[in-house]
Amino acid sequence: MLGLIQITSWHWAGFILCILIFLALDLGVFHRKAHVVSFKEALAWTGLWVTLAMLFGLVIAPALVHDWQLKQTVEFITGYVIELSLSMDNVFVIAIIFAHFDVPDRYQHRVLFWGILGALVMRGLMIWLGVELIHRFEWLLIALGAFLVFSGLRMVFTREKESDPEKNIAVRLTRKFFPVSTEFDGQKFLTIHKGRSALTPLALVLVLVETTDLIFALDSIPAIFAITKDAFIVFTSNVFAILGLRSLYFVLAGAIQYFRYLKIGLSIVLVFIGLKMVLVDYVHIPTPLSLGVVVLIIAGSILLSVKATHREKA
């Protein structure tokens, strides 16, 4: 039961401190100089973040928290898998943004680093607000479930239109209130343009990345509430998924053609999780079963995508 878990402010502080140390090492040591992230390097970082997430769920958290049970471990892993899966769609949107602004490969990691740092803050606030509201208004869980079902069906039946990043409201507001230079200035977000301080195009890309994550969080965060309402599990699983998003981008961005059916798979996941939330009072779906269903749907959609691509090439 949630009330048995001995989560204190020290656990929160310790976890956040460790994440800040990892991020400082990432930007200050491993990526201090701008460079092109190779597929091999990205794959290694992805493996590292997945390993750290599994170690946290299976070993570290149970060791730190006396009353942490197998149930919470399964919930953490299920939440992590769901958040990481739903982040894949975000990867392809980011690839479109980078292509539109013609962002040099060596500067992309820096944008993703600061974008994800901002995403952690935004998601932390959204999770705190969501947990508080759900504990006060139980019917909100059913409403969020209905919203996820709607989002999933919309993804399936709505034809995707090619959007112009320049028409994004966040970009238009940024251009309205701040001067923006026309050229990149290395990996800087601020530069001197026509004798005054101005944002660089890289800063506009950062604004778009932050906006994109906020939009995707509206689906992904309610989805994990179908698994658990424990703020610590929701936050930590989100953090590990977001931290792995940067390296996952460099792994997947060059193979977009192999994931044509992934959006359909993600929509089915949203509908499944939404129905689980709507029918919570009538049908109980164990968390391990939910994990298995999500993994099967995502793996199946990727497998079908790869087979379709190979068949076309043949």
For range 282-304, the mean pLDDT? 89
The listed range with the strongest mean pLDDT (65-79, 165-179, 254-268, 269-283) is 269-283
Read off the pLDDT of residues 114-134 as tens digits, 9 standing for 90 and up: 888 888 888 888 898 888 888
- How confident is the model at residue 131, as a pLDDT? 87
296 pLDDT higher than 90: yes
For residue 273, name the pLDDT band (cuts at 50, 70, 90).
very high
- How confident is the model at residue 240, as a pLDDT? 92
Report yes or no on 25 lying in a domain.
no
3 pLDDT higher than 70: no
In one-letter notation, the amino acid at residue 91 is V
Q: Nearest-5° angle of CA 71, CA 283, CA 263?
A: 80
- Name the residue with higher pLDDT: 31 or 272: 272
Report yes or no on 22 lying in a domain.
no
Q: Which domain holds residue 157?
A: 35-313
For range 56-76, the mean pLDDT? 79
Read off the pLDDT of residues 228-249 as tens digits, 9 standing for 90 and up: 888 899 999 999 998 888 888 8
Report yes or no on 18 lying in a domain.
no
Average pLDDT, the chain: 84
Report yes or no on 290 lying in a domain.
yes
Report yes or no on 207 lying in a domain.
yes
- How confident is the model at residue 66, as a pLDDT? 62
CA dihedral 160, 165, 167, 173 (to 10 degrees): 140
Instruction: Kindly report the pTM of this predicted structure.
Output: 0.85
Residues 103 and 261: their CA atoms lie apart, in Å, by 27
For range 188-207, the mean pLDDT? 87
- How confident is the model at residue 1, as a pLDDT? 38
Read off the pLDDT of residues 97-108 as tens digits, 9 standing for 90 and up: 888 888 888 888
The secondary structure of residue 36, as a DSSP letter, is P
Report yes or no on 281 lying in a domain.
yes
Residues β-bridged to residue 197: 192
DSSP alpha helix (H) spans, 196-230? 201-224
Please name the residues in contact with 133: beta carbons below 8 A apart, sequence gap of 6 or more.
Answer: 140
CB atoms within 10 A of CB 300: 14
% of the chain at pLDDT higher than 90: 15
Q: Find out whether 275 and 149 touch, Cβ atoms under 8 Å.
A: yes
Report yes or no on 6 lying in a domain.
no
**Among 210, 223, 251, residue whose Cα is nearest residue 120:** 210
For residue 60, name the pLDDT band (cuts at 50, 70, 90).
confident
Total structural domains in the chain?
1
2 pLDDT higher than 70: no
% of the chain at pLDDT higher than 70: 91
Read off the pLDDT of residues 4-59 as tens digits, 9 standing for 90 and up: 456 778 888 888 898 888 888 877 676 667 777 777 888 888 899 999 999 998 88
Report yes or no on 1 lying in a domain.
no
